[in-house]
Structure 1
């Protein structure tokens, strides 16, 4: 199947899948009880609560409530966020930009360090770099994110004060316009080196913590792929031609070893977006993770449903991008339905 046909077919299925996700998440949230509590106050009378339920159509059957919610979704109305005291559509863009910036930074760290360390471990198999890489991957896979975050927080924030909490220093960013919502990029657009380095100081520590687990997976996959690639006949043929070892590794072995690693990298990015909850809570990063945690504790169903929908959309988009990238990297791959 051609890549274009495959892309069109997957894009045509996207609304159907999202519709199914919306039905499931709406039904499950309604099973937890009426969402009127997020809108009501303790001193309201039963009549006032009944009027509130009628206002938000909560006195109607669940299928009617779902139809009204879907209608609002198509109009760009995702409901009212009780934890943010604002419409969900106004808040979700800001929260998503914060989480996306953190995930991109963590993804870049995980990819560059993971591919480099995995390549070195595969080339230097059963030697010191390989042992270090394997120890690193074991630690990354077994260390809880919240514990690793606290471990780095004590020396670098409490003792040395190198990396502050939050996203920025208010005094520095008070005059910066945020066209993208990603502070490092906004500082570059504003041509403000002071704001950029301030945003970077806030970003480094949570990005490293978030990237640690993904790095471990990429290192392990890259090492295994490199070990397999280095034993292939085309590597021996390249060496027999007299090519330098660096060229053989970079252009032949590593390029083919990146094929299976590409899938892991793509899926890791999706999990970075979803796994930022603990990191955002520890480092006071005002993103989707911190937002949805507050929503769950408060029973804010509109916020929870919006979070699930955007997370599902991200995962499907990432999976599609990985499939397309894999097909471009290896023309032998035949894309199916």
Structure 2
């Protein structure tokens, strides 16, 4: 059985159990099943008549058996529901308008509005890609105008009283200062490594950028860490976001995460098991055009926003290079690490790319 359930059920049976639970018409036969695809954690099905998407968790994710944890599933799905609501306040229709979930050991699923078919990166012109990026940059900027619906900082969890909140309870300024020190420590490790790159130039760049990192200009917002092309529907009517990874943090940091991923990360991980099917290396021009549009939409002509963003992208590059260096120094990699990041040979090749990117990183 490929689904996370204690029952011995066929694919049709588990889909119909979910539909029955939602008061929807059941599917009469296997020929009526319309599979949209699968992510790392869920199978997705189109419920055509109601134009809904049903997602059912997998029994195996990253080659490991998934352990049912009610609290974690509820926190995950409640966070998604909260983000969809907040996102649609920032820009109506950018996320599914309807989202519900059900969690128990016998049957767990989410069901949400179907937002349409995506135009693949390979079928987009760079002009289209840039336009999608601009829309998403404007959306991320709009999120910053909204107060967060929950207290705390970081990824969402369920509190002692059953409330949703950020996993950390600390002052944002204090957290950013602590995080900045961690970034500097990571950079120091890279600078003391045996890898050859223009360390003198990187030291100067880091000094100039880290010293002006945005702190007092930041506020906590509910935002989204996972905006990979897999989780964006590039529709004829604009970009739509699905399957987010919500967290309470600063807008600038997560905007920079988006830019770093589209400018650099996605195409460099094309040879990993996790990203191999997406062939991102074939769509570098579209990815970078998307990032260019995002920057324009997010900064909206603000020189200060542009400077703050430039610092954060640099820090994303530092921490990704550091992550690769640390993985290379491990005696062996776990199966999940190999799926996400590849073999040590691939890690080494990618680290050298990131170090070159650090070396030539532009000062604003």
Q: TM-score, normalised by structure 1?
A: 0.25
Larger gyration radius, structure 1 or structure 2: 1
Q: TM-score, normalised by structure 2?
A: 0.24
Q: Which structure features the higher share of strand residues?
A: 2
Q: Which has the higher contact order (CA 8 A, sep 6+)?
A: 1
